Amino acid sequence: MLNIALPKGRLGDKVYDLFEKAGFECPSIRENNRKLIFENPDLGVRYFWVKPSDVAIYVERGAADLGVAGKDILLEYEPDVYELLDLKLGRCRMCVAGPADFRDDPSRTLRVATKFSHITEKYYHGIGRSIDRIHLNGSIELAPILGLSDVIVDIVETGTTLRENHLAVLETIVPISARLIANKASFQFLSGEIEKIRAGLKEQTEAEA
């Protein structure tokens, strides 16, 4: 049985649809919304729903052979897994955002609020800008409005959250989308099964592009 960790939520539903269209269906998954584990013994797949930011942990530690995680999570936590395929779902971008008229004053330390501390440190280190990083767990857009930070580093999908809060994208750091990831040992020992799924998903992803 191949264990597959899916990200719970809106993205997860789209991801499961893709697995289903690729021929790895598990009909019971659509019948119950409180259960967390579903399997199709005929196809040898077992799916389970986990918090999106936890998928990589399950895969890295081998509790799941495969999983689907956002590139944001992979860049932030750098889990020791293989990234097999860009599923082209959940597309968004990691951005620096702030008041539209914000001008950086290089003589001052820049205060940056974010949930993505590692990505933020790496980005500003890369451009040689010293920052005071403020780690928050959500509603990051509040920080510049209340004067807690000058700018934020966060995910922008439609841009609605920024607009509604009178903020704008100042820089795009990296595009983000959902990726198929594999446990390194599983990839070696279950290579045939994993390759079948990767190929099926790739075909489906290309058909939908």
Chain residues binding ligand PRP by CB under 6 A are: 115, 138-141, 154-161
Q: State the nearest-atom distance from the C-beta of 83 to ligand PRP, in Å.
A: 21
Q: State the nearest-atom distance from the C-beta of 76 to ligand PRP, in Å.
A: 13
Q: How many CA atoms within 13 Å lie on the side-chain side of 20?
A: 12
Contact in structure between 177 and 91 (CB atoms under 8 Å): yes
| Residue with Cβ nearer ligand PRP (118 or 184) | 118
| Residue with Cβ nearer ligand PRP (133 or 202) | 133
Return the residue nearest ligand PRP (CB atom).
Answer: 138
State the Cα–Cα distance between residues 187 and 83, nearest whole angstrom. 11
| Residue with Cβ nearer ligand PRP (93 or 179) | 93
Q: State the nearest-atom distance from the C-beta of 117 to ligand PRP, in Å.
A: 14
Burial of 170 (0-12, 13-18, 19+ CB in 10 A): middle
| Residue with Cβ nearer ligand PRP (32 or 158) | 158
The two counts, helices (H) then strands (E), for the chain are: 8, 11
State the Cα–Cα distance between residues 37 and 125, nearest whole angstrom. 42
Return the closest-CA partner of residue 48 out of 57, 39, 59: 39
- Looking up tokens 């999570």, which residue turns up? 73
Q: State the nearest-atom distance from the C-beta of 9 to ligand PRP, in Å.
A: 9
